[in-house]
Amino acid sequence: MKTVEVEIIMNEEDVISLFYAKSHFETYEILRPLARKGNKFASYFIGSMLVSPIDQTIEPNILLGIDFLKSSAKAGYPPAFEFLGNLYAYNERVNNDQFVAHTFFYLAAILENKIDIGYHLIIEDEFKISGSDVNKSKENAKSCIEVGLENCKLLENKQ
């Protein structure tokens, strides 16, 4: 007997509904295969669950979570860049790096066409990032866009 694999396709709304309807463990089990196949929404939610689980049904794994968030970011999902920016700016379990945080926030702003109102401006003010570093960060972000997000060195997975 031949086994037939069924391809599940989920859009952002489907993934969000699932995320709020089930335990993290159930959601994780459903989304993990989709994330491994490149679904940017599934990757984002798997990453966020691993970094900061809401319930106690899955074990936190910040490094693996960051890898899933980077996969989502490589696929161009702005919330993944914002989540990564927040991690690098504020999370005590990540080596804080305001330059990297700024670059992630600026990438989100570019993708959302909101460079005049993005979180990168808050980071610049809050952490008093120098004008030189702001310009370097913006150049890094623009370089990522030029080479394609999937080739961006900032988004390389560590695991």
The model's pLDDT over 118-128, given as tens digits with 9 standing for 90+, comes to 899 999 999 99
Is 133 a member of any domain? yes
Is 20 a member of any domain? yes
Is 73 a member of any domain? yes
Global pTM value: 0.90
Domain extent for 32: 12-155
* Res 18: pLDDT: 85
Is 3 a member of any domain? no
Q: Residue range 22-39: average pLDDT?
A: 90
What are 21's two structure tokens? 């309807």
The tally of domains found in the chain comes to 1
pLDDT tens digits along 91-103:
988 888 999 999 9
d(CA 68, CA 21): 21
Binning pLDDT at 50, 70 and 90, where does residue 7 land?
Answer: low
What is the rounded average pLDDT for all residues in the chain? Answer: 91
